[in-house]
Amino acid sequence: MSHDARLVFADHVGRFYARQHGFPPMAGRLLGHLLVCDPPRQTIDELGEALLASRSAITGAVKLLESYRLVRRTRTAGERMDRVGLDPASQQPRNFDSTVHREQAALFREGLALLADAPPERRAPLAELVALADFLSERLPALLDEWHTHRDRLRATGELPS
């Protein structure tokens, strides 16, 4: 894969993460680069050179991505600099914790109680959020189980590397 193709891919990932998750574009670009770069762990200077970015921009992006457990810094014995690569935990499904949605439903119910005397059209948006949070808290554990079964099937057939 050419350097230009990697840069275009990194830019696409950067725009997606900026639009969908509010990440600064450099953080998304860094994530995109780390998904396809070789070697898979690189120094801050190597990342800056590959992404045509300053050392401070890369360092800031690394710090942000570390806080989301998407990347990890490592240092090999004898080396004086960190290498940045994808965090293995980042490939695990996230946001399937039904506890979060149960807490969210309880929070929304608290708000709904404050609107007890309000007209139905005023209560409707919050009531729908309660229903959605309840739905997600019930469905996500089963969906995660379905994903694990599907993933294991893909691994067994060789469609997905182990």
Tell me the average pLDDT across 21-38: 95
What percent of the chain stands above pLDDT 90? 83
Q: Quick one: 84 and 111 in the same domain?
A: no
Q: Quick one: 102 and 61 in the same domain?
A: no
Q: Which of these three, 45, 62, 90, is where a domain ends?
A: 90
Instruction: Give the side-chain half-sphere CA count within 13 A for 114.
Output: 6
pLDDT tens digits, residue range 104-150?
999 999 999 999 999 999 999 999 999 999 999 999 999 999 999 99
User: Which of the four pLDDT bands, split at 50, 70 and 90, describes residue 25?
Assistant: very high
State the pTM of this model: 0.78
Residue in the structure block whose two tokens are 């019930």: 138
Q: Quick one: 7 and 30 in the same domain?
A: yes
**16 lies in which domain range?**
3-90
What is the model's pLDDT at position 2?
86
Q: Which of these three, 61, 90, 119, is where a domain ends?
A: 90
Q: Quick one: 76 and 7 in the same domain?
A: yes
CA distance 151 to 123: 41
- The answer to whether 50 and 37 have CB atoms below 8 angstroms apart is yes
Residue 161 lies in a domain: no
Q: Total domain count for the chain?
A: 2
Q: What is the CATH number of the domain that holds 39?
A: 1.10.10.10
Q: How high is the mean pLDDT of the chain?
A: 93
- DSSP run (H or E) holding 85: strand 83-86
Q: Which of these three, 70, 90, 110, is where a domain ends?
A: 90
